[in-house]
Structures are given as structure tokens and as C-alpha cells.
Structure 1
Amino acid sequence: MIAMKFRAAALAGASALMLSGCLLSPGQFTSQLELMKDGSFAFAYDGEIQMLALSKLAEMGSKVDETFEAECWDEDFDPRDCTPDEEAEQKREWEAEAETRRAKKAQEAQQMKAFLGGIDPSNPEAARELAEKLQRQRGWKTVEYKGDGLFDVDFSISGQLTHDFVFPTIEKMAMANSFVSVILRDEGQVRIDAPGFAAQGGGNPMQGMMGGMAGLAGMSDEEHAEGESPPRIVIADGDFTIVTDGRILANNTDEGPQRHAKGQILSWSITPRTEQAPTALIAFD
């Protein structure tokens, strides 16, 4: 019973986050950004990206209120068996709220579809549609769906850095959260932030929810409905590097800049224990 309440609360939180930000999350990956004095840049991301809106969390969320179960507690707030009168009263209240629950779910489904650029996450073909959409965009070399909202992708792009750059961007999904952002400043400075590469709350508040979702995924089989397998939830785990011949003004790596054939390199090893999102400030005088 407690497990069911935890699952319902976690799913409610995940739903709210998905509706507010699409909630993309990196899994295992390697990523590199090159920034050079001549204005050229190159960015690559090879690894996993998960979209919770396409995972089993959505399916589990739709089932939370489908089956009535009375819940009662003793004076010490420990679960106990309900009396027939208590169970009957709770069931009347549950049935009276059925229309409200259905209306809320229908509204959330429409909001989710809008945030996903018209893709219906409950449609079995949604993942294939998204993969096809991504492969039409410049930079997405391969996009392979692995189930549970998890994609294995190979992304690379290069050119002249004449404007800000954010990864990932998905057509018609303006609310997608970023893994890496490159922001141009005055006086030839560039700021790099990678909020998506912080596995804990220090750099990315959404990853805190991801940790809770991972705990949900780790619940034993007995705590899931019969025939229902737990969702696979990934946590950021990989390496991010910046290669540049510019002047590094600030960074939060453990070892600082290291020599590289093209100038200097900054390296971050991202694990489930990483708290600070990678960040750097580089000047091109």
C-alpha cells in the first residue's frame, strides 16, 4: 500500500515535470565541444537520451487510479485493515471523483501532445515518429529507439559560431530542456554550461526527480502490478570535454586545463554522484 502511494506521488511529480519541460535526460554518453579562435566550433554527442514522456512511467501513471483500494491507518500511522464502513465510504468518494480524474488525465494528455510537437505519447508509433523527426534535423546522424523512451543517438555538427548554440533542440518542442548551452558574450567571451550533465540536484533540479524515478524503477517486482515490469530510468553517466585555443577564464573541472594538440582541453567525468554541472568561460582576444 505504501509502495503504491510512493509510486503515485512520484508519478505525479514526473508528470508535472514532463508537462513543464519535456524532461529529456542523458544516459551513458560521450560528448565533446570544440571552440577555436577562428570562430569555428564542433559539437558531438554519442550515447543515450531518454524522454520520460515515452517511457513506461506514462503507462504506469494512467493505471494509478484505475483500481480502487481502501487505505486506513492506526493511531501510530501504521497501515491497518479498513472496516466495511470505512471501505464503503472511501469507495463512494473515489467513484464521485472519477469524472474529475478522467477530465484531468484528458487535459494532461492534450498538453503532453502539444509539448511533444503533436506526437501522442500513448501511440505505439510515437517513438518511431520522433526518431524520424530527429533524423530530418541537421546533426542527428543516427537515432535508434531502445524502448522505455530511451534512444541511442549519434549527433555531430560543426560550423561558425555566430550565434548561441543549445543541445538538444527538437522541432516544435520549444520546452525541451538543454544538456549543453553555448552563449556568446560581448568582448569575445563565450560561456558554456552543461546543466543536463549533473546527475544530482546541484546543477540540474530535474535530475533530482530523475533520482527519485530511478528509485521507483528499482522497486521489487512484488511492488508492481501483476504482469507489469518496472520502467528503465537512466542517469547521466559519461564524459564531457571542451577543446579550445582560446583563453580559459574560468572552469569547474577537477584538474583544470590540460595541454592538447589544438590548444587546451577541459574534461569532466560525469557519474550518478556528480553534483556540479560543467561550466566554463573562455575568451577569444
Structure 2
Amino acid sequence: MTMFSTIRLRAAAVLASFALALSGCFLSPGKFTSELVFTGPDSFTFSYEGEIFFLGLSKLAQMDAAQAEFTPPECYNQETYESQECSAEELADARANWESGAADRAAEAKKKAEQMAAMMGGIDPSDPKAAEELVKRLKRQKGWERVVHKGDGVFDVSYRVTGTMGHDFMFPLIEGFPATNPFVQTFVRQGGQVRINAPGFATQNPEQAGMGAMMGIGSLAGLAAMRAELDGQGDAMPGIPVIDGTFTVRTTRGMRVLANNTDEGPEPNNTGEALTWRITTRTAQAPTALIALIP
């Protein structure tokens, strides 16, 4: 009987989850600092400094292609569960199964590439100049002051924008990309209130939530958490940056924090109050707050 180790099964779950990622989860923060500052009842400034991971430009998106050649399985004794050399019959069965699925794998890889290009505004992730094209696209949008590709789908960015609270706001919002993967959202309510959600600044623990639940918003951060765990056990995984940062919301005098899920609550300062969330791979609950902008 052939059995795979727990680590290998988890790595396989990452591959299985990639197909689900195409439905909307293809961006994730890495190391970052972000602030949302309300400068008045009708104005704000938002900033994000740090890493953004684009799944389509990473090695993770190419993992299926890496299976173009047959790789012998790991075999274990069914009684002792100790690793052992595969028998000729086991190897023959594994190769036969792999060969029978060649056409399906090729068709699926092509489908995934087309889907990812659609999710990336027509940028072909297999094009060697794809990262360069994305840098150009971001820099022509207002707010993206620095965009540098660090490699393997990880970009170092500096984003800063000032706006009014006459409408809702979302970050990131990229020309040609579907608006399906927000890090931060603000929703303006009647009566001078604003709801703040940061779904991209959280992850789920796959041990608690189950592998199938990982691919919701923020789930690439969940894959990064898995990667960190696997790295600790010596197993190689794609370079998804591990989420690590802070998100701060600042108000001015007269504004009130009506609700929030920080650990410490609002902290007073010289200009108003501040809410701060420390974001790590253990952050399971997305930051959220409700602010009264008008006294």
C-alpha cells in the first residue's frame, strides 16, 4: 500500500486549492504597514507600504507544469508506516495512473492559464514581461508611488491616496482586474457613519477551519501560514510571503469609535483616537470598526 506523508498531503492541498483561487482570491499582503486616517468628517488619507503577492506571477501558479515528468511516489509499509522502497508493481501502477491523466492535466493547465490571464486584466502570466507590464499598469494609476517587482510574484509598493467620504472606498483597485480581493473596504452610511472592514488582513487556521475553507478572502495568507509551518518541518513550498504587518485607523477630535474588534480598543492621542491591529499568520478575525464622523 502506498501512503503519502502528512506534509505531502498538505502540499497537494495547496495545488487543489489553486483552482479555487481563480474564483477570486489571488492577492495577499506580505510585510506591510497600512493606515486609514480621517482628516475631517468628509476627508481621509489611506496608505499602504510593503509587499503585495500576485498569485498568477508566482511559482505556485506553475506547480502543475512542474508535474510534466513522472515522479515516483513515496511508499510506506502498511503495518509500520515506515518509508520503504516501492515495489515494481506499485511503481507500474503509479506510472500508469500518471500517464492516463496526461491529456486532462494539459487541458486543465491551459484552462487555468486562460482564467488567470482574465483575472489579471489580460496580462499573460506566462509572458516573461508580465511583471513589467503589471508595474507599468500600477504606476499609471493615481496613488501608486512605488512599485518594484522583487521576484516570484512579490511586489514592494508604496500607495497613498487622499479622498472624500462621499463614497465607498476599496484597496487595492487595479484597472482591468476584478474587484474581488480587497484588503481594506470602507462603506459610508447614512448619518455620518463609516464602516471599515479589512478582509485581506486576516487568515484562517487550516487545522481549525479545514482545507476547503481556506480559499475565502484572505486565504492566500492562510497558504502562507501553511508554508511557514511546512518550512519549519523542512519541506519546500512556493515563496508566498508570510503576512506580517499593522493596520491603523486614526480619527480626529469629535469623531467617535462606535465599535471595533481590536484587543486594546481606541487609544487617545493629541489629535483624536487610534485603533491598531497587529496582523500575523495567527490573525483569524478580519479588522473591523464603525466610526461616527459627525458628532
Under TM normalisation by the shorter chain, which class is it?
0.7 to 0.9
Counterpart of 2:213? none
Amino acid at match of 2:67: V
Counterpart of 1:149? 153
In the superposition, relative to structure 1, how do residues 250 and 147 fare at CA in structure 2: closer, same or farther (>3 Å)?
A: same
Deviation at 1:238, TM superposition (A): 1.6
Q: Work out the CA distance in 2 between the residues paired with 1:6 and 1:65.
A: 20
Deviation at 1:71, TM superposition (A): 5.5
Q: Work out the CA distance in 1 between the residues paired with 2:239 and 2:71.
A: 26
Counterpart of 2:212? none
Deviation at 1:47, TM superposition (A): 0.8
Contact 2:187-2:196 at 8 Å conserved across structures: yes
Aligned positions of 1:1-285 closer than 5 A: 2=5, 4-13=8-17, 15-70=18-73, 72-76=75-79, 78=81, 79-201=83-205, 206=219, 207-216=221-230, 220=234, 230-245=237-252, 246-285=255-294
Secondary structure of the corresponding residue to residue 174 of structure 2: coil
Deviation at 1:73, TM superposition (A): 4.7
Contact 1:198-1:277 at 8 Å conserved across structures: yes
Q: Work out the CA distance in 1 between the residues paired with 2:202 and 2:116.
A: 25
Q: Work out the CA distance in 2 between the residues paired with 1:35 and 1:168.
A: 18
Q: Work out the CA distance in 1 between the residues paired with 2:24 and 2:143.
A: 22
Secondary structure of the corresponding residue to residue 133 of structure 1: helix
Amino acid at match of 1:212: M
Contact 1:199-1:235 at 8 Å conserved across structures: no
Runs of 4+ off more than 6 Å: none
List gaps (5 residues or longer) in structure 1.
225-229
Deviation at 1:132, TM superposition (A): 0.9
State the superposition RMSD in angstroms. 2.5
Deviation at 1:275, TM superposition (A): 2.8
Q: Which is worse superposed, 159-168 or 263-272?
A: 263-272
Secondary structure of the corresponding residue to residue 57 of structure 1: helix
Contact 1:41-1:160 at 8 Å conserved across structures: yes
Q: Which is worse superposed, 57-66 or 175-184?
A: 57-66
Deviation at 1:99, TM superposition (A): 0.8
Deviation at 1:94, TM superposition (A): 2.1
Amino acid at match of 1:280: A
Seq. identity, %: 47
Counterpart of 1:227? none
Q: Work out the CA distance in 1 between the residues paired with 2:12 and 2:132.
A: 28
Q: Which is worse superposed, 25-34 or 205-214?
A: 205-214
In the superposition, relative to structure 1, how do residues 91 and 269 fare at CA in structure 2: closer, same or farther (>3 Å)?
A: closer
CA-to-aligned-CA distance 1:210-266 (integer Å, 9 cap, x gap): 31233445563xx55xxxxx5322122122111113221011222222223332221
Amino acid at match of 2:268: R
Contact 2:203-2:222 at 8 Å conserved across structures: yes
Contact 2:41-2:165 at 8 Å conserved across structures: no
Q: Which is worse superposed, 46-55 or 192-201?
A: 192-201
Q: Work out the CA distance in 2 between the residues paired with 1:127 and 1:265.
A: 36
Secondary structure of the corresponding residue to residue 196 of structure 1: coil
